[in-house]
């Protein structure tokens, strides 16, 4: 069985220096001993702050934090994508689509395509005089154009009639479906906001409830740190006195 240990380490200085001058972050790192058959250890990290009981960092602390962040970033971080982000697929447009994109990029007008004049009302062929024989080919082409225009207008009239009869109901049904989708999204958004507010509320309650304990622990840490420093100073003073005494004894014996 693997043994796990939780290590709590401050990101910057001891608790007495967290307020103001340092970043108010505590790093909770959970490490575990690697199993003989496993390939990698379990390492979970979470970063949390105490915004409800700690004072906001000063401008100098924020500038220092930004310097540390910039030092960790590579020079190409603004122009190079993250390795985990896949590359964008290369577009594969047809030759006609490439020509249209090039035309649109150049701002050239649209040429070719469907001849819309075929749907316009054609004019009857004219004769120079009443005695001249009519041009049958011209009349035949005119009749073909008139038939195309008549078919187009007939289909358009039919579509407009269907739209007049059924379009209103289809439009209302579509609006009703969109309103249902909008209502569901608004409900989900409201629930998400409520859950986020509840999390922040519980976080604030937990931090304020632990504020007294944190202050007490910080004061205890300060007092014990001061006691340790006093012990170290006294030990150093005693060591110096011992060396002085040994030096005096050695000088007396040398006489």
- Work out the average pLDDT over 215-226: 93
pLDDT in tens, 134-143: 778 888 888 8
Supply φ then ψ for residue 124, to 5 degrees. -70, 145
Q: Which neighbouring-strand residues pair with 47?
A: 27
Domain boundary assignment for the chain: 4-72
Strands (E), the chain: 4-10, 26-32, 43-48
Q: How many CB atoms lie within 10 A of CB 57?
A: 20
pLDDT band at 19 (very low <50, low <70, confident <90, very high): very low
Percent share of the chain, pLDDT over 70: 79
Helix (H) or strand (E) holding 45: strand 43-48
Half-sphere exposure of 210 (CA within 13 A, CB side): 13
pTM to 2 decimal places: 0.42
């Amino acid at each position: 069985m693997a043994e796990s240990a939780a290590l709590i380490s401050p990101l910057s200085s001891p608790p007495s220096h967290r307020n103001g001058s340092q970043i108010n972050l505590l790093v909770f790192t959970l490490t575990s001993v690697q199993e003989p058959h496993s390939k990698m250890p379990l390492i979970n990290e979470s970063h949390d702050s105490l915004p409800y009981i700690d004072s906001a960092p000063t401008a100098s602390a924020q500038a220092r934090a930004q310097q540390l962040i910039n030092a960790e970033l590579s020079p190409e971080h603004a122009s190079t994508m993250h390795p985990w982000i896949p590359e964008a697929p290369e577009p594969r447009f047809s030759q006609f689509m490439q020509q249209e994109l090039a035309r649109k990029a150049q701002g050239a007008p649209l040429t070719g395509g469907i001849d819309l004049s075929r749907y316009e009302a054609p004019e009857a062929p004219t004769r120079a005089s009443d005695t001249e024989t009519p041009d049958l080919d011209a009349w035949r082409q005119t009749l073909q154009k008139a038939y195309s225009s008549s078919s187009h207008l007939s289909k358009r009239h039919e579509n407009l009639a269907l739209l007049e009869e059924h379009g209103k109901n289809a439009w209302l049904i579509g609006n009703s479906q969109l309103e249902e989708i909008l209502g569901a999204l608004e409900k989900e958004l409201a629930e998400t906001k409520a859950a986020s507010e509840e999390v922040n509320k519980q976080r604030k309650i937990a931090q304020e409830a632990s504020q007294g304990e944190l202050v007490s622990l910080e004061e205890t840490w300060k007092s014990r740190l001061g006691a340790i420093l006093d012990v170290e100073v006294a030990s150093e003073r005693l060591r110096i006195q011992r060396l002085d005494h040994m030096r005096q004894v050695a000088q007396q014996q040398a006489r």
